[in-house]
Structure 1
Amino acid sequence: MLEQLLKPILAPLFAQWPGLNEFGWQIAAAVVVALIWLLTVVFNWVTLRLIVRLSRKAPIWDELLLTSIRNPIRLLIWVVGLSLLLEIFSRNGLPVSTHAGTELRRFGAIIIIAWGGLRFISSAETFFTQPARGSKQVDRTTADAIAKLLKLIVVILAGLTVLQSAGVSVSGILAFGGVGGIAVGFAARDLLANFFGGLMVYMDRPFRVGDWIRSPDKEIEGTVEHIGWRLTRILTFDQRPLYVPNATFANIAVENPSRMRNRRIYEHVGVRYDDAAKVKQIVDDVREMLMQHPEIDTHQTMIVHLNRFGPSSMDFMVYTFTRTTQWVKYHAIKEDVMLKIADIIFSHGAEFAFPTQTLHIASGVDDGPEPQPLPADMQAELHR
C-alpha cells in the first residue's frame, strides 16, 4: 500500500535516472524515514507553541493534556513509521514477517495510549497537589488515592485490550479470575487486609500526608510521608523512617495532633504558707495577665484558682490554651507565661515554696527520775 502511494511521487525520479529502479524499495524506505523525521520536527514545533499559548490562559486541562500526550504521540509517529518500514522489508525478500508491521502498530498504539493516559493522570495529580495560578489546592491524600485508582483502571484496560488483540479470550480470563480470586484471597489475606486498610484510610481520612500522628496503643509517632496501598511511611522525630502496614490502623487508636486548634498550658504553682495572705492577689494578677496576653486564646477554658494545700505549699492551678498549635512557638509562649507568673509572685514579696519539714519540740516534758548511784561494792568492782 505504501509503495503504491510512493510510486507516483517517485516516478519522475525513476524516469530521469532509470538505474534507480533497482533500488526502488531502498529509496522508498529512505523517503519514509525522511517523512517521519520531518513530521516529528513539525509536530514538536506546533505543540511547543500551543503549550506556550495555552499556559497563558485557562482552562488548564488543555495544557495538561497536550503536555502529557506530546511524548507518546511523538513515539507513536516513529512506531507507525517503523511498522511501514517492516512492511517494505517483508515485501522485498528480507527475513521479516509480513504481519510484523501490523502487529507493531496494533500493540504499540495500545501501549502508547495507555502511557499517555498515565502521564495525564500524573500531571493532573501534580498540578492539583501543588497549585499554581491561584487555584485551590486539593487534599494530597485524596488526590493520591484517586490517581492510583485511575492508573490501576488504565493498566487493567490496556492489559485486557492487549490480550484481546493477541487472540486470548478475555472472558475466559475473567471467569478464571473469579474462581481463582477465592484461592488468592485465602493465600494473600494479609495483603488484602493491608489493601482494604489503605482504602479505609483514604475514605475515612483520619490523617493525611504531612500530618503528625501518634498512637497510644503502639509505639507509632511521627510525620506521615506517604500512604500506599500496603504500607504507610512515617518519619519519626529522630528522623527514622517507620513503615506501618495499613491493616494496623484498623485495630488501633490514632491521635492526630496536627488537627489541634489550640495547645494547652497546664501547671501548678506553689507559694509558701508564710505568704498565704498574698495568694488571692497573686492569683488575680496571674488571671489578668493571661487575659491580656496576645497569644492566649481567651475564648477557650481558662482556670486560675487556688487548687490545693500541699505538704509544704499553697498550690494554684494555671489552665489555659494558646492560639498557636506550632510546637516551637508554643514552648516560647509557655516560657513567657511562666516567667511572667514568677515576676508577679516576686512583685508581691512572696516566694515559691520548696519541699520543707517543720519539727516542733514540746517544752516541759518529764525526762524521768534522776539516775541513782551504784552500790559501793559494784563501784569497787568496776575500778579493779
Structure 2
Amino acid sequence: MQSRLIYNSYMTHILIWNRAVMTAPSTSEYFPQVQRAAVVLSFLWFLHRWKTNFFTNAMANQVTTGVDRERLSALDKISSLSLMVLGVMALAEACGVAVQSILTVGGIGGVATAFAARDILGNILSGFSLQFSKPFSVGDNIKAGSIEGQVVEVGLTTTSLINPEKFPVIVPNSLFSSQVIVNKSRAQWRASVTKVPLRIKDIEKIPPVSEEIKAMLRANPNIFLGNDAPCCYLSRLEVSFAELTIGCNLKAMRKDELFAAEQDILLQAARIIRKHGAELGSTQQ
C-alpha cells in the first residue's frame, strides 16, 4: 500500500513537471508584450498626473480670470479625452494588436457609425466651438431663438440654462450653431423707452416739461451717455390725449437694479409733470 502511494506521488510530480516544461516556452513569449504594456501604462500615468497638476495649478492661480478658467477646463477635458484615445491605441500596439489593420477593416463600419451618431458628433464639435469662441459664459443671460435664460454650465455636448420661470433647461450645443445668440449680460447699456399720456389741454406745457425731464435724465448716474443722448418729445397727438415719449440708455446692471432705475425715472418724470401743472391723461378715445 505504501509503495503504491509512493508510485502515485512520483507519477504526479512527473506529470506536473512535464506540464510546466510544455507551458514555459509559450508563457515566455508574452513577457516582452507585458513589459511594453507596463512601460506604456507608466508613461500614460505620468502624463495624466502631470496634466492634472498643471491644470489644477493654472486654475488655482489668482491672476486667472473666470473666462480663462473656463477655457482651461475645456482644454483639460479635451486633453483627457485625447490622452485616453491615444493610450488605448498605444496599449493595443504594445500588446501586439495591429491597430492600423483594425481601423482599415472597420472603415466602412466607422462611416455607418458616424452617420448614425452625427447628432452626437455635431453637439461635440459645437461644444468645442463654444468653449473657444466664447459667445457666452457661465452666469450670462442669453437668448437664442425661443430659448432664453441664465447659463449655468457649458458642457461638451449640452448647455444648461435656468429660464425666467426658474426651470432648468438642457440645450444641445448644436442648436447654438444655427441660431442668433443675444448675450444681454455683455451689453454696455440697455435701451429704455416709456410712453406717458398727458391731457390734451396741457399741450402747451409739454416743451418745458420735456426740457426738464431731459435735464433730469442727463444728471441721472444710472444713464449711459456714451452714444445717444436721452430724449423726451411729443410722439403722438390724439383728440383726448398727447403722448410724451421718454427714452434713454441705462447702464449695465442687475435685473433688480434695472427695475429700480426705471421706477426712479418714472417717479421723477411724474413729479416734473405735476410741478408744471400738467396731469396724466387717458388713452381711452
Q: Give the TM-score normalised by structure 2.
A: 0.79
Q: Aligned pair in 2 of structure 1 residues 160, 221: CA closer, same or farther (>3 Å)? A: same
What is the CA–CA distance in structure 1 between the aligned matches of 2:59 and 2:200, rounded to whole Å?
Answer: 60
Q: Aligned residue for 2:17?
A: none
More strand by share: 2
Q: Aligned residue for 1:240?
A: 167
Percent of residue pairs identical: 28
- Structure 2: which 5+ runs fail to align? 1-26
- Counterpart residue type for residue 326 of structure 1: R
**1:332 paired residue among 252, 257, 260:** 260
What is the CA–CA distance in structure 2 between the aligned matches of 1:200 and 1:137, rounded to whole Å?
Answer: 18
Q: Aligned residue for 1:195?
A: 124
Equivalent residue of 2:179, what SS?
A: coil
Q: Aligned pair in 2 of structure 1 residues 237, 118: CA closer, same or farther (>3 Å)? A: farther
Is residue 306 of structure 1 aligned with residue 234 of structure 2? yes
What is the CA–CA distance in structure 2 between the aligned matches of 1:116 and 1:311, rounded to whole Å?
Answer: 83
Q: Aligned pair in 2 of structure 1 residues 230, 171: CA closer, same or farther (>3 Å)? A: same
**1:287 paired residue among 198, 214, 233:** 214
RMSD: 2.8
Shift, 1:348, TM fit: 1.1
Q: Aligned pair in 2 of structure 1 residues 299, 310: CA closer, same or farther (>3 Å)? A: farther
Contact 2:189 2:249 (C-alpha < 8 Å) held by counterparts: yes
What is the CA–CA distance in structure 2 between the aligned matches of 1:151 and 1:124, rounded to whole Å?
Answer: 13
Q: Aligned residue for 2:176?
A: 249
What is the CA–CA distance in structure 1 between the aligned matches of 2:273 and 2:219, rounded to whole Å?
Answer: 17
Q: Aligned residue for 2:191?
A: 264
Contact 1:212 1:224 (C-alpha < 8 Å) held by counterparts: yes
Question: What do the CA deviations read for 1:328-353 (whole angstroms, capped 9, x no partner)?
Answer: 21111111111110110111111111
Equivalent residue of 2:181, what SS?
A: coil
- Counterpart residue type for residue 248 of structure 1: L
What is the CA–CA distance in structure 2 between the aligned matches of 1:104 and 1:209, rounded to whole Å?
Answer: 46
- Counterpart residue type for residue 227 of structure 1: V
Q: Aligned residue for 1:341?
A: 269
Is residue 208 of structure 1 aligned with residue 152 of structure 2? no
Question: What do the CA deviations read for 1:236-294 (whole angstroms, capped 9, x no partner)?
Answer: 23333211112222222222111111122110111111212211110000000011111
What is the CA–CA distance in structure 2 between the aligned matches of 1:246 and 1:99, rounded to whole Å?
Answer: 49
Contact 1:129 1:137 (C-alpha < 8 Å) held by counterparts: no
What is the CA–CA distance in structure 1 between the aligned matches of 2:187 and 2:112, rounded to whole Å?
Answer: 45
Shift, 1:235, TM fit: 2.5
Total equivalences in the alignment: 259
Is residue 111 of structure 1 aligned with residue 38 of structure 2? no
Q: Greater Rg, structure 1 or structure 2?
A: 1
- Counterpart residue type for residue 142 of structure 2: I
Q: Aligned pair in 2 of structure 1 residues 230, 291: CA closer, same or farther (>3 Å)? A: same
Contact 2:33 2:96 (C-alpha < 8 Å) held by counterparts: no
Q: Aligned residue for 1:231?
A: 158
Q: Aligned pair in 2 of structure 1 residues 119, 318: CA closer, same or farther (>3 Å)? A: farther
Equivalent residue of 1:139, what SS?
A: helix
- Counterpart residue type for residue 157 of structure 1: L
What is the CA–CA distance in structure 1 between the aligned matches of 2:50 and 2:168, rounded to whole Å?
Answer: 31
Q: Aligned residue for 1:21?
A: none
What is the CA–CA distance in structure 1 between the aligned matches of 2:136 and 2:65, rounded to whole Å?
Answer: 20
- Structure 1: which 5+ runs fail to align? 1-96, 358-384
Q: Aligned pair in 2 of structure 1 residues 117, 222: CA closer, same or farther (>3 Å)? A: farther
Q: Aligned residue for 2:78?
A: 149
